[in-house]
Chain A
């Protein structure tokens, strides 16, 4: 098969490689083959190879995906495939992007846990079937791979936009009964780079390899912000 792979930084270009087809081959296998057998200078990231670490996300035929969990069978068109770096992030080299801005936005969305208890207090008891806990459960499995951020149209139009992953994180904390700084968090995500910029295109939800719905979290944050504004607490 013919595989076009991005080479260079932001001003780079695609370079074509001939790669043998193998059974049960993943896109990550293809990239690894190219680096080990055809072009040892190819830069790319991966760690676990089994869909746990989230470090191998790339753009495959224009769509952000985990390359380790994407079979070649699924994406090959006319024996051709294109592999590029994630969109909406600066390219360091080849298939490696700079994730700093992505994670800095988690911090800007107040993604840190700040509880209200001290070591002298008893454990907080959160009922697993409580409404709050259930809404956290459906959003908590994010591993920060950047696929949703790369798929988001709003990030591409407004680089300040916090993005689906950071807002999803803020939502899990907004519904966490132990958290003590939610007013601050709601203020952080209600600004002009926050939830109100979301167009509800749902690309994040469509592409999330963990099948999470950041769109639902963003809608939840809008409701919490509205309630807070009506109470005069925002």
Chain B
């Protein structure tokens, strides 16, 4: 890839890592706090559904993962398998689409 393309990917991975650092801490803190009293799945969904703020937070979380993971996986594929070229790019496009679909599906199921 071109120098500019590599640099854009690097910037995207760094920026998404910064978002994830915050999201992961908030996520862990909330689940540890929320399950203290022994919540059931139905009680959790009762609290989360229709909550626009948590919907926005987890949508951002899922999208940051969608940006971050494929760029890292791209490096892993080069270093571990020596996989380059168009076939790798298509694999990563599919992987990105899968991550986005699974992530947003979960976000809609819990918060919409």
CA distance A101 to B83 in the complex (A): 22
Report A-chain residues with C-beta under 8 Å of the C-beta of B1.
191-192
In whole Å, how far is A157's beta carbon from the nearest beta carbon of chain B? 4
CA distance A225 to B2 in the complex (A): 13
Report B-chain residues with C-beta under 8 Å of the C-beta of A187.
3
B7 at the interface (CB under 8 A from A): yes
Report B-chain residues with C-beta under 8 Å of the C-beta of A222.
10
Q: Is the CB of B79 within 8 A of A229?
A: no
- Among B6, B78, B80, the residue within 8 A (CB) of A190 is B6
Tell me how many residues of B have a C-beta within 8 Å of chain A: 14
Report B-chain residues with C-beta under 8 Å of the C-beta of A225.
3, 7
Report B-chain residues with C-beta under 8 Å of the C-beta of A192.
1, 6, 78
Report B-chain residues with C-beta under 8 Å of the C-beta of A190.
3-4, 6-7
With A226-B11, A229-B11 already in contact, the answer to whether A191 and B79 are too (CB < 8 A) is no
With A196-B10, A222-B10, A226-B7 already in contact, the answer to whether A191 and B78 are too (CB < 8 A) is no
Interface string of A212-234 (1 = CB under 8 A from B): 00000000001001100100001
B8 at the interface (CB under 8 A from A): yes
CA distance A225 to B7 in the complex (A): 7
Q: Is the CB of B75 within 8 A of A191?
A: no
With A191-B1, A191-B2 already in contact, the answer to whether A157 and B7 are too (CB < 8 A) is no
Report A-chain residues with C-beta under 8 Å of the C-beta of B98.
none
Residues of B1-19 at the interface with A, using a CB-CB cut-off of 8 Å, are 1-4, 6-11
Q: Is the CB of B6 within 8 A of A196?
A: yes
A166 at the interface (CB under 8 A from B): no
- From B1, B2, B4, B8, name the one whose CB has the most chain A CB atoms within 10 angstroms: B4
CA distance A52 to B93 in the complex (A): 50
Closest-by-CB residue of B relative to A191 is: B3
Q: List 25 A-B contacts (CB under 8 A).
A: A157-B78, A157-B80, A158-B78, A190-B3, A190-B4, A190-B6, A190-B7, A191-B1, A191-B2, A191-B3, A191-B6, A192-B78, A194-B3, A194-B6, A196-B6, A196-B9, A196-B10, A197-B75, A197-B78, A222-B10, A225-B3, A226-B7, A226-B11, A234-B3, A234-B7
A-B interface, 7 closest residue pairs, ranked by CB to CB distance from nearest: A157-B79, A190-B3, A187-B3, A196-B10, A229-B7, A234-B4, A196-B6
Identify the A interface with B (CB < 8 A). 154, 157-158, 186-188, 190-192, 194, 196-197, 222, 225-226, 229, 234
